[in-house]
Amino acid sequence: MKPEYRKATLRETELLTETRIEVLRAANRLSVDTDMSEVKKRSLDYYRRALRDGSHTAYLVFDGERFVGAGGVSFFQVMPTYHNPSGYRAYIMNMYTHPEYRRRGIALRTLDLLVEEARSRGITSISLEATDMGRPLYEKYGFVKMENEMELPG
């Protein structure tokens, strides 16, 4: 199998949204009974807007016609800092590989494409949240655990 990596377009917003819901269910250990209708609606809206305005890039991975993986990166700006004078940041999310296709380098290649996309925009500050399953890949890639960030739960 030689996977095909395609940059997502507005035509794939439904597939991206379905994948997003699947990733959220897995990452949060949610049952299939959990109502995700609001998240689904807002995710679809997000993809439609963000793919159009360029604030999000996603890659879809196919084995022939079969969808087998995905990953995305959102771009945003915060106040400039000493370590990030432009203030531009990239946040990698929604990394997914179908269980039958794991351990074949698909996530690594998808991650490469997302990091390349960020760097092509001059962005050096790239972050992500890691599940237990994804953490070894990200650490091997060079991502390090952040010590100084905190979050106020909603």
What are the tokens at 130? 């890691």
**Cβ proximity of 96 and 71 under 8 Å:** yes
User: With 0-12 CB in 10 A as exposed, 13-18 as middle and 19+ as buried, what is 17?
Assistant: buried
The answer to whether 69 and 101 are in contact (CB under 8 A) is yes
Mean pLDDT for the stretch of residues 81-105: 94
152 pLDDT higher than 90: no
pTM confidence score: 0.91
Note the residue count of the chain: 154
CB burial of 121-133 (b: ≥16 within 10 Å; e: otherwise) equals eebeebebebeee
pLDDT digits (tens, 9 = 90+) for 26-60: 888 999 999 999 999 999 999 999 999 999 999 99
The amino acid that residue 84 corresponds to is N
Enter the tokens of residue 140: 């091997």
For residue 116, is pLDDT > 90?
Answer: yes
Percentage of the chain surpassing pLDDT 90?
A: 86
What does CATH list as the number for 4-141? 3.40.630.30
For residue 148, pLDDT over 90 is answered with no
At 151, the pLDDT band (50, 70, 90 cuts) reads: confident
